[in-house]
Amino acid sequence: MPEAFVVGQMTVKQAEKWAQYRSQVLATLLPFGGELVFRGEQVESFSGVNPHPDIVVIRFPSADHAKGWHACPAYQALIPLRQEAADVVLTTYGT
């Protein structure tokens, strides 16, 4: 079972709501073996233009675990808050 990584690229629109969302996400990851790999801000683009300055990478034991996390009721309940707080592109990658 290869690992999967969920990569979120985002532009924060409302910092307070984003902080509220971020404070609740970790609890939704744990039942699916999700682990925060890193969060960061874009420093420089060597090629092309990335429309979102912030990034988060989350590791899961498998793509099925990542799908389970995204579909779980606890995370689904946070999506409206996320949508208010930031513009987000959320993508899954396998190894």
Reduce the secondary structure of 30-70 to three states and give it as a string.
HHHCCEEEEEEECCCCCCCCCCCCEEEEEEECCHHHHHHHH
Residue range(s) defining the domain that contains residue 74: 11-29+63-85
Residue 23 falls inside a structural domain: yes
Residue 68 falls inside a structural domain: yes
Q: Please tell me the total count of domains within the chain.
A: 1
Residue 1 falls inside a structural domain: no
Residue 22 falls inside a structural domain: yes
**Residue ranges of the chain with per-residue pLDDT less than 70:** 1
Residue 44 falls inside a structural domain: no
Alpha-carbon distance of 66 to 61, in angstroms, equals: 8
Residue 78 falls inside a structural domain: yes
Bridge partners (DSSP) listed for residue 87: 11
**What is residue 95's predicted lDDT score, i.e. its pLDDT?**
86
Residue 52 falls inside a structural domain: no
43: CB partners within 8 A, 6+ apart: none
